[in-house]
Structure 1
């Protein structure tokens, strides 16, 4: 295996968290991270990842889902997020649904949200949530929509941070798609943000327990392709899965924020694992660096999303 002098200089300059995180595969050879996870990348991808790790992103956020159990699993992931925040500050966390188990009772909010994430909340991290299927079991999720800590301006809504426009969706069985879908297209078409990121609870593509959604493929994928949505984030399946680019969009399942279930591998899967985890997303002018991070703060997956793909 050979590498260019430029790649050698980049790799040899990495230290600490970045070196442990960077699984390098050059010319088809797979390397191991410090935790022993295999991380596969082409030589070009490895060089790009290394280069990005040496520069400062214009924005960083984290995402996770299926969190609201109040169990040990949730708390260990929350602690890992806090440790990550200390090394790599962020001020936004996306909660992709099932924020309160089992039936969305807002009375549990202290145990399943305020206590586990208190250090992050105290540090000024803003959580933006959407509704999952468990959340709507109580009053159709209305108490959560009204809860200030979830920062929801409705069952579906949009907000902008720097050069990124976020779009939160209600993907539940009783979602009002007759109103929501025209709203989404209107907002996507009106946005001049270079990066457009959509999140909802249910997966479009998934090799997990619940699998892919034929309906969401039909109604969302054409809009994502038309308006250059580069990333869709979801939960529902309790695992981590990053897809290959599908018609311009990468699909990220980050539903292992409190517990795990088995996950397989489909024709569009780039990386999947059943491991307590969250995702960190670093935004650059022309790239996104997406990292899967486990409860021990080890990066077990990294992928690149291009602005113009």
Structure 2
């Protein structure tokens, strides 16, 4: 809707101004991702948990992981939870009335510390069902914690968390003869969708003045797990992240926990896709990845999750197993620039 502009000039001038304001409104909003503000703590810090590939009605240790998340979440006084996709197995939700939503989410993550806002994106398994059901406002009425969109930004003051819909990038979902169908109703033109999304991501990162820049996608950019690297993301998304000083890329898809460093740019690739069923012993060639300018710091092929603690000068990442034990941690610091 065009803004209401007071006008004392001629009718022609008024019409021109209204049309101009409409055009300006379209120009300024058409290339912007929806943004949600999330406050930090009073001391300016932010903490959250990251979980992926989880929704199995409590099975495959999903309930055990959820219990430990609640315990760690209370200890860290978390502010929110990030879901990296594949929220409901095996084939997403059948509709917005699917009981799997409550049986795999509401009735599983019940501890007090997890009763915070959950920010979620779609994974490839979610696209196998009614993808738009997970985007429906009706689910937020069932459980107000739930917020799932294709791509969006969480503005958490000291951190911008940019969620990117990575499934449409992957060629095999459009060309494979495997016995799966995907819900592409919201993506009438794949090429146009990807081009617009990449422009939106680049613009958002360039304009960001946040101390920490975080990008979340379902598919790994770098991984030594079952699926390995996602070549389409290496080609199209990674150069944008490298050019815009992104600190962390967080993903699921591989059912494991990983920490891989991009030596050239400093991006940390963090996989947290172990929310339920894990793939024991399924690991690709670590030496091959190390030769590509990456450094594998940690790989774990069991269930678990990740925590992130941020303040203006320090970030601490920790990975936990199904028993709540810290099995890998890593910290980094940034200089605090003071204006004199």
Band of TM-score, shorter chain:
0.7 to 0.9
For residues 201-216 of structure 1, the aligned pairs below 5 Å read 201-216=218-233
Offset at residue 244 of structure 1 (A) = 1.9
Counterpart selection for 1:155 from 127, 150, 160: 150
User: Alignment partner of 1:244: what SS?
Assistant: strand
Q: Note if contact 2:48-2:307 (Cα within 8 Å) is conserved in structure 1.
A: yes
Q: Note if contact 2:44-2:158 (Cα within 8 Å) is conserved in structure 1.
A: no
Structure-2 separation of matches of 1:67 and 1:77: 9
Which stretch has the larger CA shift, 170-179 or 272-281?
A: 170-179
Distance 1:57 1:258, change over 3 A: farther
Correspondence for 1:28: none
How high is the TM-score relative to the length of structure 2?
0.70
Offset at residue 162 of structure 1 (A) = 2.9
Structure-1 separation of matches of 2:247 and 2:87: 25
Structure-1 separation of matches of 2:79 and 2:306: 14
Cα shift readout 1:218-240 (whole Å, capped 9, x = no counterpart): 21221112211100100000000
Offset at residue 58 of structure 1 (A) = 1.3
Correspondence for 1:114: 106
- 1:263 has 2:254 as partner: no
Offset at residue 120 of structure 1 (A) = 4.2
Correspondence for 1:21: none
Structure-2 separation of matches of 1:159 and 1:88: 20
Distance 1:213 1:259, change over 3 A: same
Counterpart selection for 2:266 from 237, 248, 266: 248
Q: How many residues align?
A: 250
Structure-1 separation of matches of 2:129 and 2:267: 33
Counterpart selection for 1:191 from 190, 194, 208: 208
Structure-2 separation of matches of 1:180 and 1:257: 28
- 1:102 has 2:93 as partner: no
Offset at residue 306 of structure 1 (A) = 4.0
Distance 1:112 1:251, change over 3 A: same
> Quick check: which has more Rg, 1 or 2?
2
User: Alignment partner of 1:303: what SS?
Assistant: strand
Cα shift readout 1:258-301 (whole Å, capped 9, x = no counterpart): 12112343413110011211001111222211100112111000
| Structure 2: stretches of 5+ with no match in the other structure | 1-42, 170-189, 336-340
Q: Note if contact 1:60-1:282 (Cα within 8 Å) is conserved in structure 2.
A: yes
Structure-1 separation of matches of 2:314 and 2:91: 38
Q: Note if contact 1:57-1:282 (Cα within 8 Å) is conserved in structure 2.
A: no
Cα shift readout 1:51-70 (whole Å, capped 9, x = no counterpart): xxxxx881111101001112
Offset at residue 91 of structure 1 (A) = 2.1
User: Alignment partner of 1:143: what SS?
Assistant: helix
User: Alignment partner of 2:61: what SS?
Assistant: helix
Structure-2 separation of matches of 1:217 and 1:306: 26
Q: Note if contact 2:85-2:120 (Cα within 8 Å) is conserved in structure 1.
A: yes
Counterpart selection for 1:59 from 46, 54, 71: 46
Structure-2 separation of matches of 1:198 and 1:95: 12
Structure-1 separation of matches of 2:155 and 2:109: 23
| Structure 1: stretches of 5+ with no match in the other structure | 1-55
How high is the TM-score relative to the length of structure 1?
0.76
Correspondence for 1:302: 329
Cα shift readout 1:145-186 (whole Å, capped 9, x = no counterpart): 12324313x310111113010100110136621111111111
Correspondence for 1:84: 72
Q: Note if contact 1:198-1:232 (Cα within 8 Å) is conserved in structure 2.
A: yes
Cα shift readout 1:97-146 (whole Å, capped 9, x = no counterpart): 0001111115110111111112247x64111000000101123x111112
Counterpart selection for 1:224 from 210, 219, 241: 241
Structure-2 separation of matches of 1:137 and 1:305: 38
- 1:171 has 2:166 as partner: yes
Correspondence for 2:34: none
